[in-house]
Amino acid sequence: CPLGPALLFVKVGRGEEEGRRFYACSASRDRKDCNFFQWEDEKVSEARLAAREEYNRSHQPSFTHTQNVERYKNFVLLPLSKRRFCQECQQLLLPAEWEKHSSHQFLCGISTAQLRSPSQLLYPLENKKTNAQYLFADRSCRFLLDLVMSLGFKRVLSIGTPRLHEVIQSKASQEDDFGVRSLLLDIDFRYSQFYTEDEFCHYNMFNHYFFGGEAARETCRKFLHQDKGEGVIMVTDPPFGGLVEALASSFKKLMAMWKDTEEEGRNNQEVPMFWIFPYFFESRILEFFPTFSMLDYQVDYDNHALYKHGKTGRRQSPVRIFTNLSPGMIVLPAEEGYRFCAICQRYVSSGNQHCEICNSCTSKDGRQWKHCVLCKKCVKPSWFHCNKCNCCALEDHTCEKTDAGCFVCGKTGHKRSACPSLS
């Protein structure tokens, strides 16, 4: 489809042991955005293949990345009064194109500072599953960059983190002694208007697809291999509605690209990584990356109404940093209420109190959790032990779910994904 190779899914009906497999868009699970659908065993006619190729061609951007780089060079030579940006087409305009966009809304006098901050110039794409461009607030962006620098990293592979990338690029262009470089991999092709082929690759993180082909893949490979692969970290902020399994597969392929250097002894190593995602996906991430752990730092966003730092109770941002670096190496800011737990040997939020029974700082959401003797673990403060469910839950929960069986076999005690009936 226009977003690259499709992924293989399975459709399972109630009571069925085996579902029917089909291909669908890797990034967009909403049929309104991409209606690609094909049964795995379906024979596709030549006419339909030709129609699909034509559809994919018609959904390509107006300009190639190389053309956009040339256009940018011409744009920066224009006097301020002639620098225009079309808000409807989300495109930098050269004087010869003004007439074509005359009925559109546009911004005039685009400054160098605005060109260095394209994420503030472009409208965020807010489809939660495909793009979900919730952009880091300055606080989180500064923290991430300070952390990268304090840990001694020189290169950042920025996967879906345009604001972090532009802060690094901006500092590098203004400060001669600034030693950090960044390569942005992002599905939003609009960024190709502002960055060269060495600074930006059009990339789909759900299927590890480089739209620029082998040249773009080689750009990424060289970036990872520079300095014999030392001093590089991957930082990613995927859409929260995205499939963890598909994302993990792509990140492992990027790690494999990094391992493929002439350095020996890399087989069991992973590229240092920060994966920014909500805390309630912890078990899914650890399923694919057992070496990862979750930091207590709350990541917040400029354009998300709920994901803001400083709110209390359940209104706090649920977004955290998952990393394969030792948590003890990462200092969280004391002025924001983080403290060092001498027993756990890591920084935790002020509300995350050490549980003597679990021998751990157990809170995930910033509030103080309580220990349930019957569950043999700490739970949220608003939860109570339900004898019927034999676990802790909200006080006003319904116990009906205990009677609901597995989607495949109807028996209780397991979910469809773990059903013993599935081959």
Return the pLDDT at 130.
46
Return the pLDDT at 323.
97
Nearest CA-CA partner of 84 in 64, 114, 63 = 114
Q: Examine the fold and report which residue of 39, 59, 79 is the final residue of a domain before the chain moves on.
A: 59
Burial of 150 (0-12, 13-18, 19+ CB in 10 A): exposed
83 and 221 inside one domain: no
287 and 309 inside one domain: yes
Q: Are the C-beta atoms of residues 75 and 94 closer than 8 Å to each other?
A: yes
Return the pLDDT at 128.
44
Give every CB contact of residue 245 below 8 A, 6+ residues apart in sequence.
284, 288
Return the pLDDT at 269.
80
Return the pLDDT at 136.
86
> Quick one: the chain helix, strand, coil %, rounded to 5?
30, 20, 50
Give every CB contact of residue 264 below 8 A, 6+ residues apart in sequence.
none
Name the amino acid, one letter, at 340.
F
244 and 161 inside one domain: yes
153 and 105 inside one domain: no
| Measured distance between the N- and C-terminal CA atoms of the chain, rounded to whole angstroms | 30
Specify if 130 maps to a domain.
Answer: no
Nearest CA-CA partner of 88 in 76, 99, 102 = 102
24 and 76 inside one domain: no
Question: What sign results for the dihedral spanned by CA atoms 361, 365, 368, 373?
Answer: negative
198 and 345 inside one domain: yes
Q: What is the pLDDT along the chain (423 residues), one digit of tens a residue?
A: 999 999 999 888 776 667 889 999 998 877 778 889 999 998 999 999 999 999 999 988 989 999 999 999 999 999 999 999 999 999 999 999 999 999 999 899 999 999 999 988 998 775 544 445 678 888 999 999 999 999 999 999 999 999 999 999 999 988 888 999 999 999 999 999 999 999 999 999 999 999 999 999 999 999 999 998 899 999 999 988 889 999 999 999 999 999 886 565 566 688 999 999 999 999 999 999 999 999 999 998 876 555 555 555 456 788 999 999 999 999 999 998 899 999 999 999 888 889 888 989 988 888 889 999 989 999 998 899 998 888 999 888 888 654 456 656 666 666 666 666 654
Specify if 260 maps to a domain.
Answer: yes
Specify if 421 maps to a domain.
Answer: no
Q: Are the C-beta atoms of residues 183 and 219 closer than 8 Å to each other?
A: yes
- Residue reference for tokens 């050269």: 94
Distance between CA atoms of residues 5 and 123, nearest Å: 27
Return the pLDDT at 315.
63
153 and 267 inside one domain: yes
Burial of 213 (0-12, 13-18, 19+ CB in 10 A): exposed
Distance between CA atoms of residues 26 and 1, nearest Å: 9
Count of C-beta atoms within a 10 Å radius of residue 182: 24
Q: Are the C-beta atoms of residues 270 and 292 closer than 8 Å to each other?
A: no
Specify if 115 maps to a domain.
Answer: no
211 and 238 inside one domain: yes
267 and 163 inside one domain: yes
Name the amino acid, one letter, at 345.
Q
Q: Are the C-beta atoms of residues 350 and 338 closer than 8 Å to each other?
A: yes
Distance between CA atoms of residues 229 and 262, nearest Å: 9
257 and 192 inside one domain: yes
Helix, strand, or coil (residue 310): coil
Whole domain around residue 143: which residue ranges? 138-350
Return the pLDDT at 389.
87
Q: Which two tokens stand for residue 222?
A: 């060289």
Q: Are the C-beta atoms of residues 346 and 358 closer than 8 Å to each other?
A: no
C-alpha angle 164-169-174 in degrees, rounded to nearest 5: 130
Distance between CA atoms of residues 273 and 140, nearest Å: 16
Counting the structural domains of the chain, the total is 3
Name the amino acid, one letter, at 332.
L
DSSP code of 368? P
- Residue reference for tokens 């893949």: 217
Q: Give per-residue burial for 238-266: e unless 16+ CB within 10 Å, then b.
A: bbbebbbebbbbbbeebbebbbeeeeeeb
94 and 175 inside one domain: no
Specify if 25 maps to a domain.
Answer: yes
Q: Which two tokens stand for residue 84?
A: 């225009």
Specify if 250 maps to a domain.
Answer: yes
What SS3 string covers 123-186?
CCCCCCCCCCCCCECHHHHHHHHHHHHHCCCCEEEEECCHHHHHHHHHHHHHCCCCCCEEEEEE
Return the pLDDT at 399.
81
296 and 343 inside one domain: yes
Return the pLDDT at 409.
63
Q: Examine the fold and report which residue of 43, 59, 75 is the final residue of a domain before the chain moves on.
A: 59
Specify if 419 maps to a domain.
Answer: no
C-alpha distance from residue 203 to each of 183, 189, 319 (Å): 11, 9, 23
Q: Examine the fold and report which residue of 291, 320, 350 is the final residue of a domain before the chain moves on.
A: 350
Specify if 69 maps to a domain.
Answer: yes
Nearest CA-CA partner of 347 in 362, 368, 333 = 333
- Residue reference for tokens 């959904």: 59
